[in-house]
Chains A and B, each alone.
Chain A
Amino acid sequence: MSCQQVHQFLDAYIDRELDLATTLEFEDHLKECSGCRTIYEQYKDLHDSVQAQLSYFEASDRLQRKVRAALRSDGSDARREWFPHWRAWAIAASIVAVILIGTVLFQTLKRSRQSEMLAEQVVSSHIRSLMANHLSDVISSDQHTVKPWFNGKLDFAPVVKDLASQGFPLAGGRLDYLADRPVAALVYKRRQHTINLFLWPSPDSDSRPGTETARGYNVVHWTQAHMNYWAVSDLNAAELGEFAADLRK
């Protein structure tokens, strides 16, 4: 290694950045060349004392607080990351809502379809009872005769009301089959019109009367005290409604 190279490598040697081979060459040269050795020693000495005297500026507490605060408020960037999370919840909630509304609508539709179908059955039953002259199995205008007649024939005790004073005399009762089950059929009269009132237990809670029309017959139905009531007649809707109202009292 030449003196020229030694001068060039002084800094790298001090900083221990020379590779091993060059370091050894450098040191060999220093051992042999007193001029370079003096230069190196002076330079190294100078370097060490200047390095030791270099001021290191430290960040003030105020700056540290400022930076920390700035990062915190900028951390809203990170908090914004949470938003998709909330959005996901919102989407989930709307899906649940749509499903709920859909289910309710579907149930309502289904129920109205069911009640339409039931109305058909009720009307058919009514017509059959008139055609076959099989209106009543027990012929009596006395509720205390009609009601006990059902004992042992049904798994429930139908409410038999005497509405003679309201102009709907009881004519009798019979068994019938509706909505896939045996039901009680009570026969009331209004002038020349016959009213068939079907009743059977229901799991549903009370509901207000709903009306249907099928094949020229009026049908009114409601649920009361866990009983389904279906009244059908060729009587006009107003008077049938009156009948229903009297029964519900």
Chain B
Amino acid sequence: MTKYSEASEFYWNPRTKWRDRTIDEGKWNKLAEKRVQKGKPDVFERTVLPYINSAYNLARWLTRNEHDAEDIVQEAFLRAFKSFDTFIPGRDARAWLLAIVRNSCRTWLRRNRPHETATQLDDDAAAPLDTWSDPEAALIKNANSQLIREALEGLPFEYREILILRELEELSYKEIAQIAEVPLGTVMSRLSRARRELYARLGSLAGENRR
């Protein structure tokens, strides 16, 4: 039905019925694509640009640097705009954008700080679970955001990425699996390792501060 009415817009022809029958699928798709192309900047601005904070936040955490993050966000947005055709309308534009930002960060880090992405993670082994005495736990709990930032920035790329996507963007494991390009089971084990590593670091940092 939509196809019918939109076809008449293309042709401005009162004999739409006849015209419509002559449009084969390929030709139709081409026309639709052209129309999409024409409205592309507007649609992109409406659907993707609102997530610029998510993009910047992720890039900022992954690069740990304001300027690098800004450069990467700009580049990632241009990349996203160019490949906007691959975005399926109705899907989560934020997750789609974050996947691009994440890959831009990875590429950028590989080029500029190769040692940072070279970490080997042991995702398969069960995550060790520390337990803390109540005063220790209270110490970690009361850690300020500066300390948490320090602890998180000390974690490997993969842990940082998964923690930001989960704790700040609150994406589902499935979405995280797609963005980080790992199986669902890896998301689960990696996330618990990342959290426990973070809390352990936080515990030692908080302990140092107190001494």
Pair B129/A57 contact, Cβ less than 8 Å: no
Q: Which of A8, A46, A67 contacts B77 (CB 8 A)?
A: A67
Which residue on A lies nearest to B33, using beta carbons? A81
The contact string, 1 if C-beta is below 8 Å from chain A, for chain B 141-170, is 111110011001000000000000011100
Complex Cα distance, B101 from A63, in Å, reads 15
Instruction: Count chain B residues whose beta carbon lies closer than 8 angstroms to a beta carbon of A.
Output: 50
The contact string, 1 if C-beta is below 8 Å from chain A, for chain B 30-56, is 000010011011001100010011011
The segment from B5-13, B16-24, B109-117, B188-196 found at the interface with A is: B188-196
Residues of B within 8 A of A93 (CB): none
With A8-B127, A39-B131, A57-B61 given, is the CB distance from A63 to B148 under 8 Å? no
Pair B140/A46 contact, Cβ less than 8 Å: yes
The contact string, 1 if C-beta is below 8 Å from chain B, for chain A 57-75, is 1111001101110111011
Q: Which of A43, A54, A70 contacts B148 (CB 8 A)?
A: A54
Complex Cα distance, B154 from A171, in Å, reads 123
Pair B41/A63 contact, Cβ less than 8 Å: no
Whether A11 sits at the interface, judged by CB under 8 Å, is yes
Interface residues on A, range: 35 or more
Whether A7 sits at the interface, judged by CB under 8 Å, is yes
With A8-B127, A54-B152, A78-B41 given, is the CB distance from A67 to B140 under 8 Å? no
User: A residues 136-174 with Cβ under 8 Å of B?
Assistant: none
Which residue on B lies nearest to A51, using beta carbons? B167
A81 to chain B, nearest CB (A): 5
The contact string, 1 if C-beta is below 8 Å from chain A, for chain B 174-209, is 000000000000001001100100110010000000
